[in-house]
Structure 1
């Protein structure tokens, strides 16, 4: 949308998502008369006075109206109606900044950066603020308009008191009992006859009430759901997932503090620091996530920014780097350990600043303790500089080596589960690969042994199967590598076990298929229940495919398996 300023220079208003611009333009192209009076007990009373003959005098006050009419105030009657609320609120942007006086605030903050609102009041509010502000000041009221989604319940129904499906955010934050929830859901119903049905549904849906998720988890949930769609379906299970994320971040911080307490964290820049391949990798990955989060925030894609933060913190920092750091802290000289401790605290401190707009409370609490260890000072994390990517810290070599490590470790872990190796048991791993990859794996051996819980790693030249009959194996095609657990397996007994497990999974799959083939179930069951059944079917079929591969591995050549 473009509007000219007093000098004739275009002033553009950007709508996000962009398709809402057409709604705005449609209204302007089809302007209708606007009835600005309302019959309410509150609001701005219409500044119009009538004399006995019905003549109208518009003025700032009764005295001015009397002067214009030439009659005493006592002979005039003010209109009893009030201005439409959208007429009053349309004056907000400039009237709050001191208008009609030319104040420093008006000069500095008009136009403002962004208006956040819903699509249902583009006509009522947004357009009228633009009209009023440009008419009185010659300036647009804001540069961007972010249109957020309308929140619906998990079944896609509009939240309303009459349906009794509204969830109070304070109840999600602090938790509540089922009785208190029922009382709130049935208060002020439009149709009293719905009370019993709403109470039954509420008690069935929330038999134990609502647990306390905390403000950060609720904020993270809504950020993750903030797509460019017109509506979003609120999913309570997402709150639980993001509460777990907050716990994960808290526990990772405790681990870091426990391992750096009273130790050198590299604050003295004059002392030598050596960074391991893992240290270099996590710093490089941090640059990527900083760039991604800044990009998505600039585009108002809060869902993608939240996804990037979640993925980096949970997967890269907590699940991989913290485990790799444990290895580095148990070996190496003073410079190497200093480098790892320095990386642990500085990456964590940056994570806290990166996540602060989404989860402000836990990040503030943790930052107060972590910041001094990272050489940061300040009263609050909220006034610190937001992280920005530094291209100089990217490290393709480190990324390549850790990618190889991840591939071997992930496959080794899958094979351990497949072979039902106990978590605490260490087994050997045989690797057949090329000479160049073999050298790379040897350099990563300590990481590999620790993360995959291996007793030994035997590497040999060549890419054929290492030779442990019946033992789980994997081909890592991207690295021309074959890996296999060094364990003894009774092929006949293992085959029988796998066939029994397959039969069980197949029975569950057939039950799910029958349920989804029932048109009555698909059309009448809540959408999320049908979605869960479809996910269950897909999971069963994926499990069957894995079991068939395992059965083939332990079956004699040409011997059929019971896979029908």
Structure 2
């Protein structure tokens, strides 16, 4: 509403008017009787009603009946009988100006050109023939015509030059055109009163259920009343085609919508677009730059009485000059249109006005068109399509090349947030936390009626029995970004946000631990030479490199949830769970002096890159932690992580061999941990390496395990680890539980007697299950006619499965011999 924006809005309106795209017309509009203004088609929500339904309507104490088709009779002039019509909006009969029948319907041929008499006003109503509107097979085959209150009837009224009688005031009450009997009666109370009056006159012919769509305002929930009003419109036919092609023309695509599923919505809306009603009867907004010229000799002196008396100009002085040219020598009075512009008209100019348009500024030259627009998919047409249409027409190009649409946030149950349900989540309350009493207090300070308040309070008690914990901005931000995998809507569970707050704490503790290992005077090197590093350091750099690559690709493709998953997995499962644990022996004595230095350097590089990777998703905690990191030699860091370079991959860090070896180490550790269950006491373990006949796999596995005994011992929390081969299996004492890691590897862990029996039972159960699988497969393969009836491909697959099951059984039974 500032001067610059107001100037731009006026300029846009005037330019579009001079180009013939803005015009004024008397048409049916979607009228909101609560807001007392016209609203656009896309501000109307529709409720599908199958049968008689009672709905609450703003301004009415009792629910209003919908989904009912009521029939009544019009008496024909000259005692010719009656003609029965049906309607779901019987209150509009006060404005009926015709009855339409099909010209080929023999039932009404004798009534063509005759008149019916209105039961309340005595107005003569012509019987007209209209093959376009009337379906003789539907209802009675006769249709009441109310041109001022129905879109279809409006078109009939224009075709047959009928009278347009508006029977409602702007706040939805019957006006003087509706007759004194119902004057000032709210429209839905008039519905009941008119039905009763028709019954008294003997003209009511009953009712029946009727399936219908009811239009309601998306803002006020008021039932839309079609009303005939003079309004300003934008002709959208040509500019909508340009906006449509900008997205759908594959050979010359200028705008990309992400996710792609919304291209179909874009296409559907713009292909079926109607002219845009841009005037609103509100107090707040950009006033329309149009002045009405009232000539001294005009018969009708009311504002807007003559549609050709409007002049459009940037200010009153220019309007006066235009009026003087048009009405040379005549005396006149100028009155500015009191209406304001639809908020989406001024919002649609945003990409232009923010850069200084209509002035030819340096910013406009440098930055228009912009690159990416991020917004919610619910305003794709309200705002985004209007920006594209107006940007192309007034700015000469599309306003942005990409449109990223985020999901809409719902509650944990998938319900739309509503004050009356008590499920509205205020981001500030998630960030700072709030008690259940505080949530109740917020509701009580609103404008809910007592019944709605009671329902809302119960909803809060159910969803937030202990209030909402303090989560912080970072946890909320990370949760919302991770939720974007749900491209349509986010079912926001506060407990997930709480989980990320706890992860922030873990992140803080992990970095604090790492900093303690670096020491107060530590200065990291400028770079690393991976080949000189210990195995675990080579591994963490290699997986960090892959994480950097995956996150970069995810961000480039706007797959933000994949990016959060990748950065979370690296920090949680690779850096914290593995690397920080596996390097602890390097800091526990003097035996690993060189490894300790390498581990410190690698740890610093991991923290620096990891925090920069995480920063877009958790800006506050990463800034705080990054500032605590020491600076590397001969390198001045930026003042803030926010302006530091985002990590990029380093080719020399890639090491597939090391990653494969660590996969085997982790599988071995996982098997040992599964045997230990919840116990964390240090115990001895054995690893049995088997040689597979005709391959070197077993030998290679043995070499890997022997070379990484320290890592396995540390991660599995073992007191000792002995690597043996099959000839040495007798060396395993009794009282050990075992499990198979893979075909070349089994592990054994010492257990207490109480757990040994449990382990043996589990072992026997596993062996029994394998025997049953083998028995079932062998039975199916030995049925008569198997070789002839079963395809060769299926038989081969069954043989492979059988061999694999038998090999697995042998491994389990062999592993069990040491118990």
Residues 1:21 and 2:263 are matched in the alignment = yes
**8 Å CA contact retained: 2:420, 2:456:** no
Instruction: String of CA shifts for 1:86-129, please: whole Å, max 9, x gaps.
Output: 11111111112111222111111111111112222222111111
For the residue of structure 1 that corresponds to 2:418, the secondary structure is: coil
Which of the residues 413, 416, 420 maps onto 1:155? 413
Change in 2 beyond 3 A, CA 1:74/1:211: farther
Deviations 1:351-387 (A, max 9, x none): 1100100000000001111152585611100101111
**Structure 1 residue 14: deviation in Å?**
0.1
Cα 1:251–1:238, aligned 2, differ >3 Å: closer, same or farther? same
Match of 2:292 in 1: 50
SS of match in other structure, 1:295: helix
Counterpart of 2:575 in 1: which secondary structure?
A: helix
Contact 2:258 2:403 in 1 (8 A): yes
Moved more, 463-472 or 272-281: 463-472
Corresponding position of 1:60 = 314
Q: Distance in 2 between matches of 1:271 and 1:24?
A: 52
Q: Match of 2:658? A: 398
Q: Which residue of 2 aligns with 1:140?
A: 398
The 8 Å contact of residues 182 and 203 in structure 1, kept in 2 or not, is answered as no
Partner of 2:45: none
Change (3 A) 1:249 1:269: closer
Query: Does the aligned pair in 2 maintain the 1:435–1:461 contact within 8 Å?
Result: no
Question: Paired residue for 1:282, among 533, 540, 552?
Answer: 540
* CA–CA distance in structure 1, aligned partners of residues 754 and 353 of structure 2: 83
Alignment of 1:135-284 (within 5 A): 135-262=393-520, 264-267=522-525, 274-284=532-542
**1:475 maps onto 2:740 in alignment:** yes
Supply the distance in 1 between the matched residues of 2:317 and 2:421 (Cα, whole angstroms).
51
Distance 1:225 1:465, change over 3 A: farther
- The aligned residue for residue 98 of structure 1 is 356
CA separation of 1:291 and 1:430: change in aligned 2, threshold 3 A:
closer
Change (3 A) 1:357 1:491: closer
Alpha-carbon RMSD across the aligned residues, in angstroms, is 3.1
TM-score for the superposition, normalised by structure 1: 0.81
Residue number in structure 2 paired with 1:515: none
Cα distance change, pair 353–315 in 1 and its aligned pair in 2 (3 A):
same
- The residue aligned with 2:49 is none
Quote the Cα distance in structure 1 between the aligned partners of 2:752 and 2:353.
Answer: 81
CA contact 2:288–2:341 (8 Å) conserved in 1: yes
Q: TM-score, normalised by structure 2?
A: 0.57
Q: Distance in 2 between matches of 1:337 and 1:144?
A: 48
In the TM superposition, what are the counterparts of 1:459-498 in structure 2 within 5 Å? Answer: 459-462=723-726, 468-469=733-734, 471-477=736-742, 480-487=744-751, 489=753, 494=758
1:82 deviates by 0.2
Q: Structure 1, residues 326-369: CA drift from partner, whole Å, max 9, x if none?
A: 12334655443221101001111101100100000000001111
103-112 or 432-441: which moved more? Answer: 432-441
Structure 2 residue matching 1:45: 3-state secondary structure: coil
The corresponding residue for 1:76 is 334
Aligned pair in 2 of structure 1 residues 492, 60: CA closer, same or farther (>3 Å)?
A: closer
- Checking the alignment, whether the CA contact within 8 Å between 1:218 and 1:239 is kept in structure 2 is yes
- State which drifts further: 62-71 or 213-222: 62-71
Question: Cα distance 1:492–1:340, how it changes in 2: closer, same or farther (>3 A)?
Answer: closer
Give 1:354's aligned residue: 613
| TM-superposed deviation, 1:425 | 3.6
User: Is the 2:586–2:593 contact (alpha carbons within 8 Å) kept by the matching residues of 1?
Assistant: no
Rounded Cα–Cα distance in structure 1 between residues aligned with 2:245 and 2:636? 45
| Alignment match, 1:415 | 675
1:424 maps to 681
Task: Report the Cα distance in structure 2 between the residues aligned to 1:73 and 1:338, rounded to whole angstroms.
Answer: 94
Q: 1:377 aligns with which of 637, 646, 665?
A: 637
Any idea what SS the aligned residue of 1:382 has?
A: helix
**88-97 or 272-281, which deviates more:** 272-281
1:414 is paired with a residue of what secondary structure? Answer: helix
Cα distance between partner residues in 2 of 1:495 and 1:450: 23
1:117 is the counterpart of 2:359:
no
Q: Distance in 2 between matches of 1:113 and 1:357?
A: 19
Which one of 627, 634, 637 corresponds to residue 368 of structure 1?
627
Describe the shift of the 1:425–1:194 C-alpha distance in structure 2 as closer, same or farther (beyond 3 A): same
SS at match of 1:238: helix
CA pair 185-167 structure 1, distance change in 2 beyond 3 A: farther
Does the 8 Å contact 1:281/1:398 carry over to 2?
yes
CA contact (8 A) 1:173 1:212 kept: yes
> How far did 1:498 drift?
8.2
Instruction: Say whether the 8 Å CA contact 1:37–1:82 is kept in structure 2.
Output: yes
Gap regions ≥5 residues in structure 2:
1-242, 296-305, 691-697, 764-808
C-alpha contact 1:309 1:355 (8 A) present in aligned 2:
yes
Q: How many residues align?
A: 497
The aligned residue for residue 505 of structure 1 is: none
Flag the 1:143–1:225 CA change in 2: closer, same or farther, 3 A: same
Closer/same/farther in 2, CA of residues 491 and 367 from structure 1, 3 Å limit: closer
2:417, 2:718 → 1: CA distance?
A: 53
Deviation at 1:247, TM superposition (A): 1.2
1:476 Cα deviation from its structure 2 partner: 1.6
* Partner Cα distance (2:433, 2:448) in 1: 26
Kept in 1: contact 2:586–2:592 (CA 8 A): no
Indicate how the Cα distance of structure 1 residues 490 and 338 shifts in structure 2: closer, same or farther if over 3 A, else same: closer
| Contact 2:523–2:630, Cα closer than 8 Å, also in 1 | no
| Structure number, greater radius of gyration | 2
Deviation at 1:208, TM superposition (A): 2.4
CA distance in 2 between partners of 1:102 and 1:458 (Å): 78
When structure 1 is superposed on structure 2, of 246-255 and 329-338 the one drifting more is 329-338
Residue 26 of structure 1 deviates from its aligned partner by 2.0
Do 2:293 and 2:333's aligned partners in 1 also have CA atoms closer than 8 Å? Answer: yes
Aligned with 2:748: secondary structure?
A: strand
Contact 1:98 1:106 in 2 (8 A): yes
Q: What is the rounded CA distance, in whole Å, between the counterparts of 2:537 and 2:757 in structure 1?
A: 45
Instruction: Tell me the residue number matched to 2:281.
Output: 39
User: Aligned pair 1:388/2:648, yes or no?
Assistant: yes
